Amino acid sequence: MDYLFDPRPQPSLPVRGAAARFPVGRIFCVGRNYAAHAAEMGNEVDREAPFYFTKSAHHLVGPGSHPVPPRTGDYHHEVEFVLALGRAVDPADPMASVLGYAVGLDMTRRDLQAAAKAKGRPWSTAKDVEASAVIGPLTRAEDFGALADQRLTLSVNGTLRQEGRLSEMVWSVPEVLADLATLYTLAPGDLVMTGTPSGVGPVGRGDVLEGTCEGLDPVALTLT
Ligand code: MN
């Protein structure tokens, strides 16, 4: 193939214990999937239907140092449990599509999100932000074991800010996958960020964030 200029590199994630990397296709994100976080954002939880937004796979970065993006005075952390799909979703057995899991940070320009919400506009400039999908290495599903009440945490400069259990999701992982598969033809390489527990808040240059989930490698971010 002859291109006018070099294409961007294929975004990918390392897999614990494997030499080959996981090539990332799309990044889907679930909104308001923990009741306490929905409440802190001023929303009632409903079970009418989950809702989604997306981030470009080119906004994926690994753990390390990354800049605070421009035009925000309220850059927020959201720690999330991330699904990595290895095959198309079978609605009768959605979990069979999951190749592995990771801890991720859905970094958010909250001030731009609030302005968008107020005007009924899209969230793209708040959520689909360069270096805003910070995701750690994948652990294969069979190594992680069954989804239960694993603890998900986020600390900033060593102080615990967010804490939740996977069992507290409003929409469970299989429910999210089954629903998302009615909207999109999910494919190997797709990631799903499954929402954040309560305790989100602002961070800035020099802050050191660490997201953890029992059974997974942590993800660390230093903001520059
Ligand atoms: Mn989120």
Higher pLDDT, 223 or 45: 223
pTM recorded for the entire structure: 0.97
pLDDT in tens, 168-218: 999 999 999 999 999 999 999 999 999 999 999 999 999 999 999 999 999
Q: What pLDDT, on the 0 to 100 scale, is given for residue 35?
A: 87
| Distance in Å, CA 184 to ligand 1 centroid | 19
Strand pairing report for 27-30 and 191-193: parallel
Q: What pLDDT, on the 0 to 100 scale, is given for residue 49?
A: 83
Q: Which residues have CB atoms below 5 A from the ion given as ligand 1?
A: 78, 106, 196
| Distance in Å, CA 96 to ligand 1 centroid | 24
Q: Which amino acid is at 22?
A: F
Domain covering 12-223 in this structure, CATH number: 3.90.850.10
> What strand order describes the sheet that includes 75-77?
108-109, 75-77, 201-202
Distance CA 172, CA 165 (A): 12
Judged against a pLDDT cut of 80, whether residue 46 lies above it is answered with: no
Confidence of residue 106 (pLDDT cuts 50, 70, 90): very high
157: tokens are: 């400069």
What mean pLDDT do residues 159-170 have?
Answer: 97
| Distance in Å, CA 28 to ligand 1 centroid | 10
pLDDT in tens, 56-90: 999 999 999 999 999 999 999 999 999 999 999 99
Torsion of CA 88, 49, 132, 142, to 10 degrees: -40
Q: What pLDDT, on the 0 to 100 scale, is given for residue 204?
A: 98
Q: Are 127 and 105 in contact (CB under 8 A)?
A: no
DSSP 94: G
